[in-house]
C-alpha cells in the first residue's frame, strides 16, 4: 500500500490544482505545502534519507525548469510550485519528461488559440520586438503586445502539467 500511496496523493493534488487553476486561475499555497509535507514524509517512510534526497532533487529540478518562464512573467508561481511537487513525488527524470510534454502540449494549444483569434502575427511581432530590446539591454516584459496588456493572451498551465504527468506516468508504466 505504501508504494501506491504517493501516486494517489499526487493524483489528488493534481486534480484539485487543475480545478482551481481552470476555475479560479489559482493554485493554492496551502495545497502545495500540504503536498510537500506529505511527499517528504512518504519519501522518508519509503526510503529513509535516500528517499528524501531523491525527493529534494526532483523538487529542485521541477522548480528550476520553470524559473525562467516565471521570472519573465510568462507564468505564475503556482505553476512552478506544481511542477516542483511533481518532481518531489516522481523524481528528476520523470519531472523533466513532464516539463517537455507540458511545453509541447501548451505550445500546440497556444498556437491553435492564436491562429483562431487571428493574433499569431501580432504575437510574433511582439516577441521579436521584445527579444530585440532584450538583446539591446533594455528590460521588457516578453509577453506584452505593442498595445500593452490588451493583447496579452493568458492560458492556465495546470491542465498541461496534469495531462503531461498522466501521459508520462502511463507511458512509464507500459500502458
114-166 residue pLDDT tens: 788 787 777 777 777 776 766 766 554 544 444 454 556 678 999 999 999 99
Spell out the residues 6+ positions from residue 58 whose beta carbon is closer than 8 angstroms to its own. Answer: 86, 87, 88, 89, 90, 91, 92, 94, 95
Q: How many Å apart are CA 123 and CA 93, to the nearest integer?
A: 33
Q: What is the mean pLDDT of the chain?
A: 87
The C-alpha cell at 25 is 486561475
pTM of the predicted model as reported, rounded to 2 decimal places: 0.83
Q: Tell me the torsion sign for CA atoms 35, 101, 172, 158.
A: positive
What are the structural domain ranges in the chain?
5-117+153-172
Q: Check if the beta carbon of residue 10 is closer than 8 Å to that of residue 89.
A: yes
pLDDT at 6: 95
Amino acid at each position: 500500500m505504501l508504494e501506491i500511496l504517493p501516486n494517489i496523493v499526487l493524483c489528488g493534488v493534481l486534480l484539485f490544482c487543475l480545478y482551481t487553476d481552470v476555475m479560479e486561475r489559482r493554485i493554492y499555497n496551502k495545497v502545495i505545502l500540504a503536498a510537500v509535507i506529505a511527499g517528504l514524509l512518504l519519501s522518508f517512510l519509503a526510503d529513509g534519507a535516500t528517499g528524501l534526497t531523491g525527493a529534494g532533487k526532483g523538487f529542485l529540478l521541477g522548480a528550476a525548469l520553470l524559473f525562467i518562464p516565471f521570472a519573465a512573467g510568462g507564468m505564475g508561481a503556482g505553476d512552478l510550485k506544481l511542477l516542483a511537487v511533481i518532481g518531489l513525488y516522481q523524481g528528476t527524470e520523470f519531472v523533466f519528461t513532464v516539463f517537455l510534454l507540458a511545453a509541447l502540449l501548451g505550445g500546440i494549444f497556444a498556437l491553435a488559440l492564436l491562429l483562431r483569434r487571428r493574433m499569431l502575427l501580432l504575437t510574433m511581432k511582439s516577441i521579436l520586438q521584445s527579444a530585440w530590446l532584450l538583446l539591446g539591454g533594455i528590460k521588457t516584459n516578453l509577453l506584452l503586445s505593442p498595445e500593452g496588456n490588451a493583447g496579452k493572451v493568458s492560458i492556465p498551465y495546470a491542465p498541461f502539467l496534469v495531462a503531461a504527468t498522466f501521459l508520462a506516468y502511463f507511458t512509464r508504466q507500459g500502458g
